[in-house]
Structure 1
Amino acid sequence: MSSKGNSTNFRAARLSSFGSSLQIESVDLPPLGSRDVSIKVHFAGINFYELMIMDGKYPSLPTLPATLGGELAGVVLETGSDVKTFHKGDRVFSLAQTGKGTTGSYGKIAHVNEQYLYALPKAVSFKTGASIPMVTFAAYTMLHKRVTIPENGVVLIHSAAGGVGSTLVQLASAMFPKLTIIGTCSNDQKVETVHSLGADVVINTKKRSFVDEIHKKFPSGVDIIFDPVGQQYIDAHLSLLRPLYGTICSYGTYTGPITDSALVTKLRKGNLTFSGFLMWPLLEHKESCMDIFTNVFELLSTKQFKPLIDKVFPLEKVNDGIARIRQRKNIGKVLIKP
């Protein structure tokens, strides 16, 4: 082990001002902290919250200039003086928040605090290792800890061809085989993909109203709605929930935060439940995180789950990958290969 700083000059995608594109720059890593691990990045994931950071709209913003990203897979180059678990040459993956516990994964080298670092099984490729941390952690936690899944229930999963959405469809189908899964997406190609992942009903929202379709096909309502949307659909979602049993599980606000001051009253009228999920505080409980990833790798090994990877972009084309997500063209996870 070593606590010496790694002065390597390397290329990274940096954000200099909110509202701008990323720029590829040469970066000097800061000295390695005592609990930090220096990693050669093989692949890194692009996540929607990082686009919100670029726009200056995420609740927690890093100090600029900054290298974005905290999700990667790679090989340990060096370890800090107090690191006991990892060693040079180890295969690892990380799940950390931009600006906290990492120097950023959108580059060829990253420092990550060992709190947010995990061993990558030999049977799992670096590409897969970078594609699953955030989406599987979110989907698995929501399905098992944030809602109660009825045995013969009906669930609605929005953005079902995206990273978290496609993972929710697969895990729900594998772990709750009697569940009826409704997915929404934005084109016919995505409809076909979401069906293949295990959804029973898939609605192309560019052609049909998901509210009208669900009212027609499920007049008694749905049990659970996994909602990354936020304010725009809150009243529609309340109208779709089954009285006494219905739950909204909110895990994103890409149309804006929910600001409905009457929400509690509306929930009480239908005896409905509102559940929230935010990943970052949960990452401080590493043993629980390790248990989740152990279960995910078991699902991978038994082929009950296969990560959906849309496209891999070289570091120099990172803005093209970001644009692909912004334009809702991706089917699954978008990765960077530094």
Structure 2
Amino acid sequence: MKAVLCKSWGLPDTLVVEDLPDVVPGAGEVAIDVQAAGVNFPDVLIIQNKYQFKPELPFTPGSELAGVVRAVGEGVTRHKVGDRVLAFVSTGAFSQQIAAPEKAVMPMPPGLDFDTAAAVTLTYGTSHHAVVDRAALKAGETMLVLGAAGGVGLAAIEIGKALGARVIAAASTDEKLEVCRQHGADALINYTTQDLREAIKTATDGKGPDVIYDPVGGVYAEPAFRSIAWRGRYLVIGFANGEIPKLPLNLPLLKGASLVGVFWGEYARREPKANAAAMQQLMGWMAEGKIKPHISGRYALAETARALEDMAARKVTGKVVIQPQR
């Protein structure tokens, strides 16, 4: 079988595709023929040794996947050969086969295709944990989503609307904002052509958003926080801009506001029952048509480096997936 390998820390062009032995599941493991693997911004950081999680070299990047069970190890009872499943793992998804712990594997909902199944776990898991658990967004409240056309941003929009909130989407181009509108955004801000603070003021009638969802960081963080509503919650998701902002701590004091950290991977590890319940709610919303991942690109395994380069250059709208069997 073929797999992408990161043999030394570096940019995507340092990755290689090599032939490896077929996987054999150990005790408690499920071997899967990977049909699709989701690409996420942390994948860009992990191969450069710039992420919270630091695997040992060499390793295969990629954390979310969907496929078909090819074999099961001793003690596995919840899955059998031929089952269509999705999984979230620490590494290894950018390959034609993977052996995943049984607890990391779940059945694919009926009627779901592999590409969509591979685009759900991290983005929607992160956004559900952020919006529902950490921010406790309520019906009737307003949420501002920065970087709204990315995978987690679109997921946040859909989750906000499923909860009955009003959602303002901010992105860098009108084309990206149109995708946000199609996924339910009530108001749009182009922060390349508009003054962010003035646009937020106009969109909220001067009140400010109750929740700000920020996976971007950089120069937008401070003006956004200065615009937050009284008792607002500012969700720190990540730093796709590449710059970790420094906020004056008098700002949360003046607004009675909260800075709230969001680290879904650690949440899923520490609170597996709560995470499983969240995934069940997401699957229910998907069955009802309230959420649907937007997949803007599909790449063969040999094109993995290009997929990551497009992600790093912020050319991606919604999600892109690797199709390892191509």
TM-score strictly above 0.5: yes
For residues 79 and 232 of structure 2, the distance between their equivalents in structure 1, rounded to whole angstroms, comes to 44
Structure 1 residues 209-218 or 129-138, which shifts more?
209-218
Structure 1 stretches of 4+ with a deviation exceeding 6 A read none
Choose from 77, 89, 114 the match for 1:96.
89
CA contact (8 A) 2:139 2:163 kept: no
The structural deviation recorded for 1:322 is 1.3
For residues 256 and 327 of structure 1, the distance between their equivalents in structure 2, rounded to whole angstroms, comes to 14
2:76 is aligned to: 83
For residues 218 and 182 of structure 2, the distance between their equivalents in structure 1, rounded to whole angstroms, comes to 30
CA contact (8 A) 1:116 1:283 kept: no
Q: Secondary structure at the match of 2:168?
A: strand
The answer to whether structure 1 residue 253 and structure 2 residue 239 are counterparts is yes
The structural deviation recorded for 1:96 is 2.2
For residues 280 and 160 of structure 1, the distance between their equivalents in structure 2, rounded to whole angstroms, comes to 21
Residues matched between the structures, number: 319
For residues 194 and 215 of structure 2, the distance between their equivalents in structure 1, rounded to whole angstroms, comes to 19
For residues 217 and 175 of structure 1, the distance between their equivalents in structure 2, rounded to whole angstroms, comes to 20
Cα deviation code 1:216-263 (max 9, x no counterpart): 4432221110111235433223211112x2110111123344555x53
The letter for the 2-side match of 1:26 is: D
The answer to whether structure 1 residue 13 and structure 2 residue 31 are counterparts is no
CA contact (8 A) 1:180 1:200 kept: yes
Choose from 210, 224, 227 the match for 2:214.
227
The letter for the 2-side match of 1:17 is: S
Provide the TM-score with structure 1 as the length reference: 0.88
Question: Unaligned 5+ residue runs, structure 1?
Answer: 1-9, 99-103
Choose from 308, 311, 332 the match for 2:294.
308
Question: Unaligned 5+ residue runs, structure 2?
Answer: none
Q: Secondary structure at the match of 2:36?
A: strand
Equivalent residue runs for 1:207-286 within 5 Å: 207-218=193-204, 219-230=206-217, 232-243=219-230, 245-254=231-240, 255-260=242-247, 262-263=248-249, 265-284=250-269, 285-286=271-272
For residues 152 and 300 of structure 1, the distance between their equivalents in structure 2, rounded to whole angstroms, comes to 22
The structural deviation recorded for 1:35 is 1.6
For residues 144 and 217 of structure 1, the distance between their equivalents in structure 2, rounded to whole angstroms, comes to 23
Equivalent residue runs for 1:4-43 within 5 Å: 10-20=1-11, 21=13, 22-28=15-21, 32-43=25-36
RMSD, matched Cα: 1.8
Q: Secondary structure at the match of 1:283?
A: helix
Report the CA distance shift for 1:212/1:173 in structure 2 as closer, same or farther (over 3 A): same
For residues 126 and 114 of structure 1, the distance between their equivalents in structure 2, rounded to whole angstroms, comes to 19
Provide the TM-score with structure 2 as the length reference: 0.92
The structural deviation recorded for 1:12 is 0.9
CA contact (8 A) 2:23 2:98 kept: no
1:68 is aligned to: 61
For residues 48 and 191 of structure 1, the distance between their equivalents in structure 2, rounded to whole angstroms, comes to 20
